[in-house]
Amino acid sequence: MPSDQQMKPLTSKELDYIVDCVSNESALAKHCAAAAASIQNLSVQQALLGFMQKHESHMDMLVQSLQSHQNIAPTQSH
């Protein structure tokens, strides 16, 4: 990666936003799973399971983004 495009530490606002997004994606995946479990129509059930997998994928991408910033995060002294 060129030096002018190196990753910078996340701001607290960015971190809060990503954490909220992870929480939202998790909730959406759980709702899709619950709905799929109660649906009799197989095509609707398959669509909901596909949505669940997509939300889980989004959640994984967000967590990977957090992990990639972990080594450049500023440390806090207590």
Whole-structure pTM value: 0.80
- pLDDT per residue of the chain (78 residues) written in tens, 0 to 9: 444 468 888 888 999 999 999 999 999 999 999 999 999 999 999 999 999 999 999 999 999 988 888 878 777 665
For the packed helices 12-38 and 42-70, what is the interaxial angle rounded to 10 degrees? 160
Q: What's the rounded Cα separation, in Å, for the pair 52 and 58?
A: 10
CB distance 32 to 59 below 8 Å: no
CB distance 52 to 36 below 8 Å: yes
Tokens of 46: 């398959």
